[in-house]
Amino acid sequence: MMLSTLFLSRIQFAFTMSMHIIFPAFSIGLISFLVFMEGAWLKTKNPVYYQIIRFWTKVFALTFGMGVVSGIAMEFQLGTNWAGFSKQIGSVLGPLFIYEVMSAFFVEAGFIGILIFGWNKVGEKLHFAATLMVAIGTLISAYWILSANSWMQHPIAYAMENGKYVAINWQEIMFNPYNLPRYLHMVLAAWLSTAFVIISISSYYLLREQNIEFAKKCLRFSVIAIILLVPLQVFLGDAAGVNVYKYQPIKTAAMEGLWNTERGAPTIIFAIPSNTQQKNLFEFGRIPYGSAILNTHDYNGELTGLKSVVPENQPEVWPVFFGFRIMVGLGVIMLIYAIFATIMLAKNKLYSSPKMLYFSQFLAPIGFIALLAGWITAEIGRQPWAVYGLIRTRDAASNVSMHDVLVGFILIFIIYVIIFGGCYFYFLDKTIKKGPADLDSIQPFSFLSGGASSDKGVEK
């Protein structure tokens, strides 16, 4: 692809989005985990659960803050690099973004102060309520963001007025049939990604014989979570895939590397798709009827080929093709791991298996890589459309110079790598190595029983 202002603008936004999305996804998973752990502590009063929630609240606070800051640059880019996009569909997506902001700041930000700083300052039930409200806020925020993106993927309930797209039925837009399976698929991806981070850190502690009870409970919870969530994610992924086939058949063709329309299309294991030559190079491995069954649930179902549209209406096929396979391949690895880990957990061998723990500690990024691969598939697969079938990406771009975009991209790259890469992982690593507070030093909500009303005596 030739270097151009449009290409640089796309790369800049893709980089910003890829760096940003990791933090909200991790935040969604962590706060949901904290709800379960704090609920367990309220029910059992086992101090290990309190130890767990105090430690992971630190990680959540660090991650949540990074997510908020890293997302701001994306909002500015909509004005600086994508003015045509904002001008043409601002009246549709603007309210959805406002709803997301209201969810984030009125619900999440309204209770996150209690979650982080409310230990020994409010009652334990009020603190749990705050944790629950932050979790609900993150899920609502995610829904509005996915609603906006799903409208870009499958625009409905709109009209054209004075050269701009306006909404004519907000209920249809908010409950876009394209959105629900994608939203649930995304939430489960966030939960799974977080579960594997917790598995990784718990295994790290167990290998070094540190924080044993803390690590065992975190590992047990996460293994049970993934054995339940991975099969459900497969089901939701199938539902999302059927929606893609129904509403974006060319994206399905790119995912499958299918150039000609055919019935009973096979699944191609490996190939190097070429838009230039309009065919697959070095094709290897075919599963008969695989693509037809996956996308139509009919072994003789018909799939539309990429050549059914002119080349300029086709996405760049190879990143979509490989992004889809990376996502699915990592999902298979997750499923295999979940099965083996569950069996070992049931036999009480998981905590004492050096090989399994050693392997497990390297699984932290697996969910996030799969998540990013899924987003690459979804977003590049929509091209060349900013809004599918309505607005081409080239028509959404701002009239700015390549020099301005390049300088902005370089600055964003440097700042994001330093702050959201280096600084975040430095403090995360420092928190992990320090570990949770010793059980002997923990006095949860001591003011309720006449103790100090501050955090004195509690892990800092």
Q: Are 265 and 256 in contact (CB under 8 A)?
A: yes
Q: What is the pLDDT of residue 451?
A: 41
What backbone torsions phi and psi does residue 263 show, to the nearest 5 degrees? Answer: -95, 150
DSSP designation for 155: -
Query: What confidence tier does 442 reach under pLDDT thresholds 50, 70, 90?
Result: low
Average pLDDT over residues 243-253: 91
Q: Is 206 exposed, middle or buried (0-12, 13-18, 19+ CB in 10 A)?
A: buried
Query: What confidence tier does 80 reach under pLDDT thresholds 50, 70, 90?
Result: confident
Q: Are 19 and 73 in contact (CB under 8 A)?
A: no
pLDDT tens-place string over residues 311-364: 999 999 999 999 999 999 999 999 999 999 999 999 999 898 899 999 999 999
Query: What confidence tier does 225 reach under pLDDT thresholds 50, 70, 90?
Result: very high
Q: What is the pLDDT of residue 377?
A: 93
> Of 317, 296, 310, 366, whose CA–CA distance to 337 is shortest?
366
Distance separating alpha carbons of residues 261 and 5, to the nearest angstrom: 34
Q: What is the pLDDT of residue 450?
A: 44
Query: Can you read off the two tokens belonging to residue 242?
Result: 């059927």
Q: What is the pLDDT of residue 459?
A: 39
Q: What is the pLDDT of residue 439?
A: 66
Q: Residue 53: pLDDT above 80?
A: yes
Average pLDDT over residues 284-298: 88
> Of 209, 231, 203, whose CA–CA distance to 364 is shortest?
203
* Domain assignments of the chain as residue spans, ordered by start: 1-176+401-460, 211-386
Distance separating alpha carbons of residues 285 and 303, to the nearest angstrom: 19
Q: What is the pLDDT of residue 88?
A: 83
Q: What is the pLDDT of residue 460?
A: 34
Q: Is 72 exposed, middle or buried (0-12, 13-18, 19+ CB in 10 A)?
A: exposed
**Mean pLDDT estimate for the chain:** 87
Candidate from 35-39, 110-114, 194-198 with smallest mean pLDDT: 110-114
Q: Residue 453: pLDDT above 60?
A: no
3-state secondary structure 395-425: HHCCCCCHHHHHHHHHHHHHHHHHHHHHHHH
Q: Residue 454: pLDDT above 70?
A: no
pLDDT tens-place string over residues 376-415: 999 999 989 989 988 888 888 888 888 888 888 888 888 8
DSSP designation for 106: I
Query: Which position has the token pair 């129904």?
Result: 246
Give the percent of the chain with pLDDT over 70.
94
Query: Can you read off the two tokens belonging to residue 274?
Result: 């070429």
> Of 82, 130, 104, 49, whose CA–CA distance to 400 is shortest?
82
Give the percent of the chain with pLDDT over 90.
41
Distance separating alpha carbons of residues 386 and 87, to the nearest angstrom: 13
Average pLDDT over residues 82-97: 82
Q: What is the pLDDT of residue 113?
A: 85
Query: What confidence tier does 452 reach under pLDDT thresholds 50, 70, 90?
Result: very low
Distance separating alpha carbons of residues 335 and 343, to the nearest angstrom: 12
